[in-house]
Structure 1
Amino acid sequence: MARSAKNARPPGPREEAAKLSRGFGWLAVLGVVLVLAGLVGLVYTGVATLTSMLLFGWLLLIGGVVGLLHAVQARHTNFFWLGVVVAALNIAAGVVILRTPEAAAEALTMFAALLFLTGGVFRLVGSLVVRGPQFGWTLVQGAFGLLLGVLVLATWPSSSQYVIGTFFSLSLLFDGLGLVATGYGGRRIVGLVSDRLTGEEAGAAERTEDGAAVKPVQPE
């Protein structure tokens, strides 16, 4: 057994390149799945909103339970009651979202609209006061955020049926495109490196064969 373990040859560069190529391939596949999910969510924004709220509620609930278990394990420390309070708030928020996902979507939509509104106002005022090198871009960002916040608030609460789902689907879409680009680029780079290693090994083998062919025979 020891001799076989000693004789086991570690994976070479080409084997490692093949593993990296497969890993990047699976990364691209995951990206394609996310892109498809984002496109479906953009078509069915209502379903995407409900799905995102249920997912958010389960994440809060599971995170609260895990935090409560950690707090119980650390009950002899000074942060025990803080951990218990935070875990209880997460569990309560998760239960409320799971029981009333529509109302939770309305509240989150209102919060997002207020964030867009205040962020747009601050960007507009800051760009007009500072007038830095990015004045035009900051002004456009502020105007866009202000307009988006006004539009969402003007159609609230009916806008809560599609705003969260649209943002969630766009996030999936762009994350998927990023993973596809990373996987494709990684496989291409690994392929170039593997081809170069193969060429170097072939050149080394040819030089070895040429050296063996011209090697003089030693007299007996």
Structure 2
Amino acid sequence: MSGRSRSSRRSPTARLGRSFGLLAILGVVLVLAGIVGLIYVGVATLTTMLLFGWLLLIGGLVGLVHAVQSRGSSYFWLAVIVAALNIAAGVVVLRLPDATAAALTMFAALLFLTGGLFRLAGAVVVRGPQFGWTLLQGVIGILLGVLVLGNWPQSSLYVIGCFFSLELLFDGLGLLAMGIGGRRVVGMVEDSRVA
């Protein structure tokens, strides 16, 4: 009761400032996780594959329960098939994380290549106001695809972990900046109210 009355006495700006502080703390945790992942890229790849497998498996089980609950509907069999595919994919990923990492790395490399080629061709054909940036994106995409494919399947040991860790790092930096910036804005609002 005392905790509730204490939180109800706080001003909305104080609660907002606290929320931005928690957002900044989450950003620090994500940044640290990204740095650790970049140091131990192989472990990050394996962890990512296991997490992906468990997500597929749990999502498939939840989808199956949902399909059974809606067995009178017109999409029952579709829901059962999708749930079964998710469960099967989750089992495969959990049993063969190395092979899954190799397949996903090949897929990522092909996406880089095709995306780079399309950007390159689009930049040359359209020649819009962002010509230079689109051309550069296309070249970088092709280079990434060639680099990953040139060392495949060995690159599958570190590519996915590296990408996942970089994503954690940049998301964490974004949340950290948002939390710190938000606290500053809330502080300026409180200062202007006091003045």
Answer whether TM exceeds 0.5 for this pair: yes
Matched, 1:146 2:142: yes
Distance in 2 separating the partners of 1:63 and 1:173: 26
Aligned amino acid, residue 117 of structure 2: V
Q: Structure 2: how far apart are the matches of 1:184 and 1:16?
A: 18
Following TM superposition, where does structure 1 have runs of at least 4 consecutive aligned residues deviating by more than 6 angstroms? none
Aligned to 1:96: 92
* 2:58 counterpart residue number: 62
- Count of aligned positions: 190
Match for residue 132 of structure 2 among 112, 131, 136:
136
| 1:162 paired to 2:158 | yes
Displacement, 1:160? 0.2
Alignment of 1:151-190 (within 5 A): 151-190=147-186
CA distance in 1, matches of 2:168, 2:150: 27
For residues 142-161 of structure 1, give each alpha carbon's deviation from its aligned partner in whole angstroms, at most 9, with x where no partner exists: 01100110111110000000
In structure 1, the residue matched to 2:18 is 22
Gaps of 5+ in 2: none
Given the alignment of the two structures, is residue 123 of structure 1 paired with residue 119 of structure 2, yes or no? yes
**Matched letter for residue 29 of structure 1:** I
C-alpha distance after superposition, 1:174-194 (max 9, x if no partner):
000010011101111111111
Deviation per CA, 1:119-154: give whole Å up to 9, x if none: 111111111111111111111100110011011111
TM-score, structure 2 as length reference = 0.94
| CA root-mean-square deviation | 1.4
TM-score (norm 1): 0.84
Residue 34 in structure 1 maps to residue 30 in structure 2 = yes
Distance, in Å, in 2 between the alignment partners of 1:111 and 1:134 is 28
* Match among 185, 192, 207 for residue 188 of structure 2: 192
Name the structure 2 match of 1:86. 82
- Residues 86-144 of structure 1, C-alpha deviation per residue, up to 9 Å, x if partnerless? 01000100010000100000000000000001111111111111111111111110011
Q: Equivalent residue for 2:104?
A: 108
